Amino acid sequence: MPTTSAGAATPPGAQPQAAPQGARPKATARPSMPPAAWCRRVLTSLSQQETSSPLTGHVEMLLTYYIQVEPAAADFDASLERYVHDQRPRIAEAAALLQSAWRRTSIGSSDQLP
């Protein structure tokens, strides 16, 4: 009699194959948090911390801007990329910081969102 695994029938004589040892399961694509919501979360977190960095005001300004314009994810990343190359060093640095954090968040931590 064929064995079943998670509802799928295994042909007679075939052995179900286990994932190779140490292999990670494939991640399923999930929609990431919308950029405006992500910016709101980061801005809230930032406002709850005491920071004395000269970059903080620039990060807050960019976050507030993106909360207001509510860009799509692709537009958000492209816009941050433009700001990374801005002539104003603090804006460029703040944009690079946000872009790095956004990319880390959108790549794989959607499982950890509440």
- Mean pLDDT is lowest, of 70-79, 86-95, 103-112, for 103-112
Q: Is 52 helix (H, G, I), strand (E, B) or coil?
A: coil
Which of 69, 51, 105, 61 lies closest to 86 in space, CA to CA?
Answer: 61
Q: ∠77-81-84 over CA atoms, to 5°?
A: 135
Which comes out higher in pLDDT, residue 81 or 28? 81
pLDDT interval class at 106 (50, 70, 90)? confident
Residue type (1 letter), 16: P
pLDDT exceeds 80 at position 91 = yes
| Residue 9 parent element (H or E) | strand 8-9
The predicted structure's pLDDT at residue 105: 84
pLDDT exceeds 80 at position 7 = no
pLDDT interval class at 108 (50, 70, 90)? low
- Give CA–CA dist 79/22, Å, rounded: 38
Q: pLDDT of 43-90, one tens digit each?
A: 999 988 887 788 999 999 999 999 999 999 889 999 999 999 999 999
